[in-house]
């Protein structure tokens, strides 16, 4: 079998277009070698020649090829084999590859059976042994059949295939991880897609193993963790060195911008990202206000470009990798990771941004990932097709999600606790929402309960003025109700405000917060935290602006202070 394709420059496995296969089967190793050699000489440039010396080996290999969705163009099979006749083999191979051309290799004595088989089992051709010279007795027939096959063949999808259930939290997590890491994959619903059921059977797995990921080398991961997937698809999960000039935690716009500037200015740089590069911005369906993109761009595009740029300059990006602690051992800082390892840096930049607050209504925690989603509008939008989607929140991210969902759902209801959108949402989005007929805005309304056994089925709404409640059918609920910073892992080392946002620069002096651990003569630099050499940028900072442009700007500016800190070491 073909080895897994090498990671591309972006670090992830991409679906290549492998050559279609010509598969030869014969128990006589001399004949098999000769036929494979002749086939390779004539067709090797455009086809991959595979061979097996028994029908059983060939069928096992075919099942793996089918799992990886590789195309087989033609079988060339000996009729007389000990474990199974060539015709019996071709009948079984046809179940897996109905469109492949089928050629039987026969001795003179079998030719009558072969002629019959052409009619009875839809054999495409039979060839008599020996086939010398191949230019006259092999190639003309095989070439004609390959031409026919090519004419009808539609290239198959050859990337990762995820088999799962539509309303499963674990399937949702894997879809979200793959999508946010920009790894192409197709998802097949085992409940409704016959191909999914066939692939699950071929993989030897069952319903209890779902979700199942089929890799391009034909191997199978049952109910994998995202770390297992990351390792198999070529994402970097361990650091290449022990000590870096700069360790950046969080690969949102702030972290990515800092990585681009740091690596391009020659600093050894590593980014630690718990989920996927791009951060919140990566989840945005359409960013309309980022300078230089008058027609807007998707968050996925921005993340892909920034990630490529950072890698091109030599920054390492670890995904998924979660920072769980920060240790100081002057002059170095050590970022401790969830897997028990740590990465040393002469400087650290915290750019961990914020995460959405969880919906605290009854049922919400149980139905998270199976109908209740946080900022994951993009991957789950297809599951609301034709249904009623609810978006909770009045900010720009809620507005963008409503606009995106309106293209998939039959109806979208935006639930806003306040009395309108004007105070919390950009005017251009308010205008777009007003002009979209299938979006309804319900102001002064909150969700008080979500219902469903195995998946979300309904939502209870409450009018905050009249206390009137109403329970309505819901396909999905997308929650955008404010955010909290990702700083619990370092608040025992770095000073933060009451909500957990990190104080930096002059704000530290204002709150009288410079601790004893600040052992330098100078004041903290503008983006420096209460620990010298540990900087913060983007949404995670106290009183940050919560915009992509400002996060990018702060990430870039932080480098100026990192250089000054490095120069003082």
Ligand X SMILES: Cc1cc2nc3c(=O)[nH]c(=O)nc-3n(C[C@H](O)[C@H](O)[C@H](O)COP(=O)(O)OP(=O)(O)OC[C@H]3O[C@@H](n4cnc5c(N)ncnc54)[C@H](O)[C@@H]3O)c2cc1C
The rounded distance, in Å, linking the Cα atoms of 168 and 370 is 6
- The answer to whether 326 touches 334, Cβ cutoff 8 Å, is yes
Q: Candidates 30-38, 217-225, 243-251, 411-419 — which segment interacts with ligand X by CB under 6 A?
A: 243-251
Residues 6+ apart with CB under 8 A from 245: 262, 267, 268, 269, 345, 346, 347, 562, 566
Is 275 a residue that touches ligand X (CB under 6 A)? yes
The rounded distance, in Å, linking the Cα atoms of 123 and 100 is 10
Among 31, 547, 553, 563, binds ligand X (CB under 6 A): 547
Is 538 a residue that touches ligand X (CB under 6 A)? yes
Residue 218 or residue 255: which is nearer to ligand X going by CB?
A: 255
Among 67, 74, 349, 351, binds ligand X (CB under 6 A): 351
Among 11, 164, 253, 532, binds ligand X (CB under 6 A): 253
- The answer to whether 470 touches 460, Cβ cutoff 8 Å, is yes
Is 181 a residue that touches ligand X (CB under 6 A)? no
Among 53, 158, 171, 284, binds ligand X (CB under 6 A): 284
Among 117, 145, 182, 251, binds ligand X (CB under 6 A): 251
Is 190 a residue that touches ligand X (CB under 6 A)? no
Residue 268 or residue 396: which is nearer to ligand X going by CB?
A: 396
The rounded distance, in Å, linking the Cα atoms of 130 and 520 is 87
Site string for ligand X, 489-528 (x = CB under 6 A): x---------------------------------------
Residue 93 or residue 403: which is nearer to ligand X going by CB?
A: 403
Residue 59 or residue 272: which is nearer to ligand X going by CB?
A: 272
Is 273 a residue that touches ligand X (CB under 6 A)? yes
Question: How is 301-329 classified by DSSP, letter by letter?
Answer: HHHHHHHHHHHHTT-EEESS--EEEEEEE
Q: In the complex, what is the shortest distance from the CB of residue 318 to ligand X, in angstroms, rounded to a whole number? A: 9
Among 19, 137, 358, 546, binds ligand X (CB under 6 A): 546
- Which residue is listed with tokens 């000489």? 41
Structure tokens at 277: 């590069």
Q: In the complex, what is the shortest distance from the CB of residue 25 to ligand X, in angstroms, rounded to a whole number? A: 50
Residue 255 or residue 394: which is nearer to ligand X going by CB?
A: 255
Quick one: which of 487, 452, 485, 448 has its CA closest to 469? 448
Q: Candidates 121-129, 235-243, 430-438, 533-541 — which segment interacts with ligand X by CB under 6 A?
A: 533-541
Beta bridge partners of 52: 25
Q: Candidates 166-174, 204-212, 268-276, 362-370 — which segment interacts with ligand X by CB under 6 A?
A: 268-276
Angle at 424 between CA 418 and CA 428, to 5 degrees: 125
Among 164, 345, 353, 363, binds ligand X (CB under 6 A): 353
Q: Candidates 75-83, 95-103, 249-257, 459-467 — which segment interacts with ligand X by CB under 6 A?
A: 249-257
b/e map of 171-201 (b: 16 or more CB within 10 Å)?
Answer: bbbbbbbbbbbbbebebbbbeeeeebeebbe
In the DSSP assignment, the letter for residue 77 is E
Among 123, 196, 323, 416, binds ligand X (CB under 6 A): 323
Question: How is 85-124 classified by DSSP, letter by letter?
Answer: -HHHHHHHHHHH-TTSEEEEEE-GGGHHHHHHHHHHS---
Quick one: which of 536, 412, 383 has its CA closest to 480? 412
Among 269, 352, 504, 530, binds ligand X (CB under 6 A): 352
375-434 residues in contact with ligand X (CB under 6 A) are 375, 396-397, 400
Beta bridge partners of 212: 163, 222
Is 534 a residue that touches ligand X (CB under 6 A)? no
The rounded distance, in Å, linking the Cα atoms of 478 and 542 is 27
| # residues near ligand X by CB under 6 A | 39
Is 274 a residue that touches ligand X (CB under 6 A)? yes
Q: In the complex, what is the shortest distance from the CB of residue 316 to ligand X, in angstroms, rounded to a whole number? A: 14
Sign of CA dihedral 246, 252, 257, 263: positive
**Residues in the site for ligand X, rule: CB under 6 A?**
249-255, 272-275, 279-281, 283-284, 287-289, 322-323, 351-354, 375, 396-397, 400, 486, 489, 538-540, 546-549, 551
């Amino acid at each position: 079998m073909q080895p897994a394709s090498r990671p591309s420059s972006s670090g992830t496995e991409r679906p290549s277009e492998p050559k279609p296969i010509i598969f030869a089967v014969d128990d006589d190793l001399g004949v098999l070698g000769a036929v494979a050699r002749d086939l390779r000489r004539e067709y090797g440039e455009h086809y991959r020649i595979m061979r097996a010396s028994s029908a059983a080996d060939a069928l096992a290999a075919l099942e793996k090829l089918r799992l990886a969705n590789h195309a087989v163009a033609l079988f060339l099979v000996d009729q007389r084999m000990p474990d199974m006749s060539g015709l019996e083999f071709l009948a079984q191979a046809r179940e897996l590859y109905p469109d492949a051309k089928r050629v039987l290799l026969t001795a003179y004595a079998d030719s009558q059976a072969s002629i019959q088989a052409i009619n009875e089992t839809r054999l495409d051709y039979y060839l008599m042994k020996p086939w010398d010279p191949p230019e006259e007795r092999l190639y003309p027939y095989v070439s004609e059949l390959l031409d026919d096959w090519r004419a009808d063949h539609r290239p198959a999808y050859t990337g990762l295939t995820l088999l799962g259930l539509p309303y499963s939290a674990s399937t949702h997590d894997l879809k979200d991880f793959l999508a946010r890491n920009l790894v192409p994959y197709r998802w097949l619903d085992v409940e409704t897609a016959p191909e999914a059921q066939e692939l699950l059977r071929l993989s030897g797995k069952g319903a209890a193993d779902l979700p199942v990921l089929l890799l391009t080398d034909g191997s199978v991961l049952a109910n994998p963790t995202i770390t297992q997937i990351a390792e198999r698809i070529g994402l970097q999960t361990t650091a290449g060195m022990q000590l870096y000039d700069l360790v950046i935690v969080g690969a949102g716009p702030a972290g990515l911008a800092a990585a681009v500037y740091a690596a391009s200015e020659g600093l050894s740089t590593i980014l630690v990202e718990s989920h996927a590069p791009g951060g919140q911005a990566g989840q945005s369906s359409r960013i309309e206000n980022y300078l230089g993109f008058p027609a807007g761009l998707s968050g996925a595009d921005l993340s892909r470009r920034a990630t490529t740029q950072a890698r091109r300059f030599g920054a390492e990006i670890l995904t998924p990798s979660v920072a769980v602690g920060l240790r100081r051992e002057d002059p170095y800082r050590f970022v401790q990771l969830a897997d028990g390892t740590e990465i040393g840096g002469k400087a650290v930049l915290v750019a961990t941004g914020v995460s959405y607050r969880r919906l605290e209504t009854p049922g919400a925690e149980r139905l998270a990932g199976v109908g209740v989603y946080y900022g994951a509008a993009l991957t789950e939008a297809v599951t609301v097709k034709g249904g009623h989607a609810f978006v909770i929140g009045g900010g720009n991210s809620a507005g963008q999600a409503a606009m995106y969902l309106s293209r998939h759902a039959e109806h979208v209801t935006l639930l806003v606790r306040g009395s309108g959108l004007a105070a919390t949402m950009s005017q251009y989005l308010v205008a777009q929402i007003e002009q979209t007929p299938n979006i309804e805005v319900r102001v002064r309304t909150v969700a008080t309960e979500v219902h469903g056994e195995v998946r979300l089925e309904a939502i209870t709404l409450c009018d905050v003025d009249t206390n009137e409640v109403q329970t309505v059918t819901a396909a999905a609920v997308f929650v955008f109700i404010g955010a909290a910073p990702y700083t619990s892992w370092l608040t025992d080392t770095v000073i933060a405000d009451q909500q957990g946002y990190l104080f930096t620069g002059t704000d530290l002096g204002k709150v009288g917060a410079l601790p004893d651990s600040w052992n330098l003569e100078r004041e903290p630099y503008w983006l420096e935290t209460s620990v010298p050499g540990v900087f913060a940028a983007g949404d995670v900072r106290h009183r940050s602006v919560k915009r992509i442009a400002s996060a990018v700007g702060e990430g870039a500016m932080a480098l100026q202070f990192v250089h000054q800190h490095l120069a003082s070491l």
